[in-house]
Amino acid sequence: MSKAEWAGRVAVVTGGASGIGAATARRLHAAGAQVVIVDVQSGAQALADELGAGATAVVADVADEAGWALVEHTCDDLGRVDVLVSNAARQIPAPVLELTTADWDSQIAVNLRGAYLGLRALLPALARTNGSVVIVSSVHAQMGVVAHPAYAASKGGLAALTRQVAVDYAPVRVNCVVPGPILTPAWDHIDEPDRLRSIEQTVLKRFGDPDEVAAVIEFLASDAASYVTGASLVVDGGWTIAKDSA
């Protein structure tokens, strides 16, 4: 879409303070959209200040209905909603027998409940604009990775939720992206050998950049993808298509 095509459109991006969310907010703002940056971190306001006119921050917990009331109020002030990018996520690695109930619940709450609450809050407004939703899943939805049961369950649930909501609420289009090893702050605690192993397992032999996922999100949210709904588009540098075992 050209800048003129995005002009006047309003996009809500959750988890927008960093990583894929921040890259998406920057990209959609540069394209001409008004962006509402939603994050529990105060960095949402810093990014909105950086972007300037046409960017608004809402510091809120996506797993809390009260947070979505704040988002709805902001969107009412802007007059419309055209795009929801559901990206907020929490990841706490631990195998089932070592994962606390609290840590299971918090990941499901942010990753899956947060997406549900966002859909419930904004689908009526999206229906009025024939808008679109892009949900950020993960290759964890498709491949088992050691010690990520709650994260995998939530991300798999998002892929299923994408298909279901696309069926129930057409003509609103609902799609998801499935990122692989993208160099976001989530990798800050990963040591160098594990980083190198992840890179080696990709076909392209490198990390992805958050903006490379944001570019796919922009496409799915745009009129260029007007006949695409219920799809899951993998953005992983080939991480899921090749393994070195016979």
The pLDDT score that the predictor gives to residue 188 is 87
Q: Is 169 a catalytic residue?
A: no
Confidence of residue 246 (pLDDT cuts 50, 70, 90): low
Tell me the pLDDT tens digit for each residue of 128-155: 999 999 999 999 999 999 999 999 999 9
| Sheet containing 55-59, strands listed edge to edge, beginning at the edge strand earlier in sequence | 55-59, 34-39, 10-14, 83-86, 132-136, 173-179, 232-235
The pLDDT score that the predictor gives to residue 1 is 59
| Mean pLDDT value across residues 38-50 | 96
The pLDDT score that the predictor gives to residue 84 is 98
Higher per-residue confidence, 58 vs 245: 58
Dihedral angle over CA of 162, 164, 168, 173, nearest 10: 20
pLDDT at 3 over 80: no
The pLDDT score that the predictor gives to residue 206 is 97
Tell me the pLDDT tens digit for each residue of 166-208: 999 999 999 999 999 999 988 888 889 999 999 999 999 999 9
Catalogue all structural domains in the chain, each as residue range(s) with its CATH number.
3-234 (3.40.50.720)
The pLDDT score that the predictor gives to residue 5 is 85
Question: Which member of 116, 151, 169, 227 is catalytic?
Answer: 151
The pLDDT score that the predictor gives to residue 2 is 65
pLDDT at 158 over 80: yes
Q: Mean pLDDT score of the chain, rounded to an integer?
A: 96
Cβ atoms 39, 16 nearer than 8 A: yes
* Overall pTM > 0.85: yes
Higher per-residue confidence, 42 vs 22: 22
